[in-house]
């Protein structure tokens, strides 16, 4: 009986051993993998072209209509908000300072992103997270480019024709160097919300509350219209979703390889990038705002 069982076991083992692949089968597998890679690349290119065309059409629509599409809604929201605004400069100043607190806005969102990074150490998960964070950086740049390149849209605080009366305790010269559309605060904060939300719904809700805390007061103080905030939020969320689905995975793969080879350099650079995102690149903005004055001085 034992001999029979041994023969059966040996026979089963031999049946489980797969014969080596032939040259034809190896070529077939390689060709299939290459065709799959080409198909994925084609889909990514088509998606980015479609998104770029759609974004260009939306920007053209906005420019052609000079923001009239949302004017009624924006005016209504601004004036309704103004009815409930405090007429006390101390209260308004305190609300403004609290809403600008980095600890409960940008820093908290960055901390949640880092939690998601260390929560899942799988390479694929980290590569996708890296793509999402890359989209956050691009969102910050793109939102500012749109603000300075689109036709100037005065903020309610500076547009007397809007009917919005400046609140006591708020500096009239605040953020009067560039247009209000779209809100770069909303673009950056909601891009981070999209990154976090896809990893954890509970953390995503916390991130959403933080983003609302950092953006809604800007409508209250007349720094943005409702459509500015909505457009910024859609821009940030859309870019994150596109990048995580159709972003350059080869670069993300190199990033994770860099983290494994040179962790000190990788995390040092990531820390600096995180600080800039948490503070909305404030130091870089200050330097950029001083460049025209320096160039003018040199030219004279």
Rg (CA), the chain: 26
Flag whether 2 is in a domain.
Answer: no
**pLDDT (tens digit per residue) in 89-137:** 777 777 788 888 888 899 999 999 999 999 998 999 999 999 999 999 9
> Burial of 175 by CB count in 10 Å (0-12 exposed, 13-18 middle, 19+ buried)?
middle
At 287, the pLDDT band (50, 70, 90 cuts) reads confident
Query: Among 284, 283, 285, 275, which Cα is nearest to 107's?
Result: 275
Angle of helix 71-83 relative to helix 226-246, nearest 10 degrees?
A: 120
Who contacts 257 (Cβ-Cβ below 8 Å, separation ≥6)? none
Task: Answer for the pair 284, 276: CB distance below 8 angstroms, yes or no.
Answer: yes
Flag whether 282 is in a domain.
Answer: yes
Average pLDDT, the chain: 78
Distances (CA, A) of 151 to 61, 178, 196, 230, 295: 12, 10, 33, 18, 24
Number of domains in the chain: 1
CA 226 to chain centre: 19
Residue 243 belongs to what domain range? 66-299
At 173, the pLDDT band (50, 70, 90 cuts) reads low
Evaluated on CA atoms 77, 78, 81, 82, the torsion sign reads negative
φ and ψ at residue 155, rounded to 5 degrees: -75, 155
| Buried residues in 75-100 as b, exposed as e (16+ CB within 10 A) | bebbeebbeebeeeeeebeebbeebe
Task: Answer for the pair 59, 153: CB distance below 8 angstroms, yes or no.
Answer: no
Mean pLDDT of all residues in 30-43: 58
Q: Model-level pTM?
A: 0.79
Flag whether 16 is in a domain.
Answer: no
Give percent of the chain with pLDDT exceeding 70.
Answer: 67
> Burial of 160 by CB count in 10 Å (0-12 exposed, 13-18 middle, 19+ buried)?
exposed
Flag whether 50 is in a domain.
Answer: no
At 77, the pLDDT band (50, 70, 90 cuts) reads confident
Residue of higher predicted confidence among 60 and 182: 182
pLDDT of residue 31: 55
Flag whether 257 is in a domain.
Answer: yes
Flag whether 14 is in a domain.
Answer: no
- Which CATH number belongs to the domain containing residue 94 in this structure? 1.20.144
Highest mean predicted confidence (pLDDT) among 30-34, 46-50, 94-98, 230-234: 230-234
């Amino acid at each position: 009986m034992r001999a029979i069982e041994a023969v059966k076991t040996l026979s089963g083992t031999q049946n489980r051993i797969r014969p080596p692949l032939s040259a034809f089968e190896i070529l077939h597998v390689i060709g299939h993998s290459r065709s799959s890679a080409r198909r994925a690349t084609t889909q990514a290119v088509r998606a980015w072209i479609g998104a770029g065309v759609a974004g260009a059409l939306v920007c053209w629509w906005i420019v052609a209509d000079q923001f009239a599409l949302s004017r009624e809604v924006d005016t209504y929201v601004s004036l309704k908000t103004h009815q409930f605004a405090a007429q006390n400069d101390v209260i308004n100043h305190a609300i403004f300072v609290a809403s600008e607190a980095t600890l409960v806005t940008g820093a908290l969102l960055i901390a949640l992103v880092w939690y998601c990074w260390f929560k899942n150490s799988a390479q694929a998960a980290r590569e996708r997270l890296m793509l999402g964070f890359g989209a956050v950086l691009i969102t910050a740049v793109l939102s500012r480019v749109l603000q300075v390149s689109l036709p100037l849209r005065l903020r309610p605080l500076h547009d007397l024709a809007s009917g919005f009366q400046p609140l006591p305790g708020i500096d009239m010269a605040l953020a009067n160097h560039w247009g209000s559309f779209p809100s770069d605060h909303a673009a950056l904060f909601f891009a981070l919300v999209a990154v976090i939300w896809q990893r954890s719904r509970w953390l995503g809700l916390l991130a959403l509350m933080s983003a609302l805390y950092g953006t809604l007061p800007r409508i209250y103080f007349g720094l943005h219209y409702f459509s500015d905030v909505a457009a910024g939020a859609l821009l940030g969320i859309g870019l994150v979703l596109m990048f995580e689905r159709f972003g350059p995975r080869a670069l993300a793969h190199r990033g994770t390889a860099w983290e494994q080879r040179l962790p000190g350099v990788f995390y040092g650079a990531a820390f600096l990038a995180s600080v800039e995102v948490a503070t909305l690149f404030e130091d870089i903005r200050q330097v950029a705002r001083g460049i025209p004055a320096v160039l003018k001085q040199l030219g004279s």
